[in-house]
A = this chain, B = another copy of it.
Amino acid sequence: MISLNKPSLDKCDLCLFKQMVRQYVSEEDFQLLYHSTIQLRYKKGENILKQGSQFSHIIFLSKGIVKFNYENEFGKNFILTIVNSPKLIGGINVFNDATNMFSIVAIEESVACLIDINVLKNLALKNSLLTMKLIEYASSTFKDSILNFISLAHKQVNGRVAELIIYLSEKVYKEKDFAMSLTRKELAEFAGCSQENIIHTLKRFHKEGVINTDGKRIKILDFKRLLEISKVG
Contacts and interface: CB of A to CB of B under 8 A. Distances in A.
Interface string A198-233: 000000000000000000000000000000000111
Contacts of A135: 94-96, 131, 135
Contacts of A121: 132
B139 A101 contact: no
B150 A70 contact: yes
B231 A150 contact: no
A129 interface: yes
Interface stretch (A106-114, A141-149, A175-183): A141-149
A40 interface: no
Contact of A73 (B131, B143, B231): B231
A76 B232 CA distance: 11
Contacts of A139: 92-93, 95-96
Given A93-B143, A96-B143, A150 B73 contact: no
Contacts of A118: none
Contacts of A151: 72
B140 A96 contact: yes
A233 B76 CA distance: 11
A76 B92 CA distance: 29
A126 interface: yes
Interface in A37-53: none
Contact of A154 (B78, B93, B94): B78
A64 to B, nearest CB: 24
Contact of A101 (B96, B132, B143): B143
A132 B192 contact: no
A133 B70 CA distance: 27
Nearest to A123: B128
A146 B146 contact: yes
- Ranked nearest first, the 8 interchain pairs of A and B with the lowest CB-CB distance are A95-B132, A128-B128, A95-B135, A131-B131, A153-B153, A95-B136, A125-B128, A154-B192
Given A125-B132, A128-B128, 4 more contacts: A78-B154, A95-B139, A96-B143, A135-B135
